[in-house]
């Protein structure tokens, strides 16, 4: 019998690659996506498209975080546009306080319900926006908290697997291309327009990744950052 896992699936490039990785590793995956009052539901649509492509079940957690947790991603102010160089230097206004903490907590509850031991998350400690809940030390501390809090000991211990943790975006893309991840279905932009904006942290990190990987990004952008050469 396959080992069960919960995969946090935003519908973005990273989490979609992680899903493909977990399936390749033989896990029976349940996707978990979050609707927390983001600026737009576009990434939720991508999560649905990706999970349907892979034939996995997708659970949709809906939570009204935007009513009391402030971030430009939950509708307070607008998404900052910064130079690619400054992205890793300071915490952007797209930071949603405690978001990964909350998502992993809910994943732990779902995991106990389905009877699995692994939570996969597409976080990345290199090409990322500087969020504290993407750092390796956070995942270690959180793993301990959920094991203590769910009383999971011995062979029932829960593991938070962060396979992309030490990969650059270009390496993630190369890995995903090998596994045939349908990147045309993914959505990374913080804005929810028809085409990706090309200017938010997430778009710039993604475009730099594709550029460095030497493959074209299959999604459409309305604008390209200065550094980008097709």
Closest CB 71 distance from a copy of itself, rounded Å = 9
Closest CB 17 distance from a copy of itself, rounded Å = 23
Q: Which helix (H) or strand (E) holds 120?
A: strand 118-120
157 is a site residue for a copy of itself (CB under 8 A):
no
218 is a site residue for a copy of itself (CB under 8 A):
no
Q: Cα separation of 6 and 191, whole Å?
A: 27
Closest CB 225 distance from a copy of itself, rounded Å = 27
- Determine which residue in the list 2, 41, 98, 193 makes contact with a copy of itself, applying CB under 8 A: 98
For 176-207, b/e burial (b = at least 16 CB within 10 A) is beeeebebebbbbbbbeeeebbbbbbbbbbbb
Helix or strand or coil: residue 93? coil
Closest CB 19 distance from a copy of itself, rounded Å = 17
- Determine which residue in the list 3, 28, 40, 61 makes contact with a copy of itself, applying CB under 8 A: 61
DSSP string computed for 97-116: TTHHHHHHHHHHHHHHHHT-
Q: Which is nearer to a copy of itself, 161 or 186 (CB)?
A: 161
144 is a site residue for a copy of itself (CB under 8 A):
yes
Residues 30/56, Cβ–Cβ less than 8 Å: yes
155 is a site residue for a copy of itself (CB under 8 A):
no
Helix or strand or coil: residue 71? coil
Q: Which helix (H) or strand (E) holds 139?
A: helix 136-150
**Near a copy of itself in 76-95, by CB under 8 A:** 91
Q: Which is nearer to a copy of itself, 97 or 182 (CB)?
A: 97
53 is a site residue for a copy of itself (CB under 8 A):
no
Q: Which stretch binds a copy of itself (CB under 8 A): 18-26, 59-67, 198-206, 210-218?
A: 59-67
Residues 88/25, Cβ–Cβ less than 8 Å: no
The single-letter DSSP state of residue 32 is E
Q: Cα separation of 10 and 186, whole Å?
A: 9
C-alpha distance from residue 202 to each of 23, 60, 179 (Å): 25, 22, 22
Q: Which is nearer to a copy of itself, 116 or 176 (CB)?
A: 116
Q: Which is nearer to a copy of itself, 60 or 195 (CB)?
A: 60
- Determine which residue in the list 26, 55, 137, 155 makes contact with a copy of itself, applying CB under 8 A: 137
Tell me which residues touch a copy of itself (CB under 8 A): 59-65, 67-70, 91, 96-102, 104-106, 108-113, 132-133, 135, 137-138, 141-142, 144-151
């Amino acid at each position: 019998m396959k080992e069960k896992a919960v995969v946090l699936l935003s519908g973005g490039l990273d989490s979609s690659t992680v899903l493909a990785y977990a399936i390749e590793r033989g896990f029976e995956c349940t996707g978990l996506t979050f609707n927390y009052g983001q600026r737009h539901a576009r990434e939720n649509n991508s999560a649905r498209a990706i999970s349907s492509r892979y034939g996995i079940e997708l659970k949709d957690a809906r939570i009204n975080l935007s009513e009391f947790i402030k971030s430009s991603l939950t509708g307070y102010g607008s998404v900052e546009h910064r130079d690619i160089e400054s992205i890793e230097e300071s915490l952007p206004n797209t930071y949603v306080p405690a978001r990964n903490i909350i998502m992993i907590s809910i994943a732990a509850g779902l995991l106990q319900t389905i009877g699995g031991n692994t939570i996969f998350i597409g976080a990345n400690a290199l090409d990322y926006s500087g969020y504290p809940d993407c750092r390796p030390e956070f995942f270690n501390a959180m793993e301990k908290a959920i094991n203590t809090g769910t009383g999971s000991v011995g062979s029932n211990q829960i593991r938070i697997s962060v396979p992309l943790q030490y990969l650059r975006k270009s390496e993630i893309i190369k890995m995903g291309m090998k596994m045939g991840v349908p990147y045309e279905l993914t959505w990374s932009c913080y804005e929810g327009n028809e085409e990706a904006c090309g200017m938010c942290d997430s778009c710039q990190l993604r475009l730099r990744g594709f550029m460095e990987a030497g493959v074209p990004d299959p999604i459409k952008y309305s604008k390209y950052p200065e550094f980008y050469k097709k």
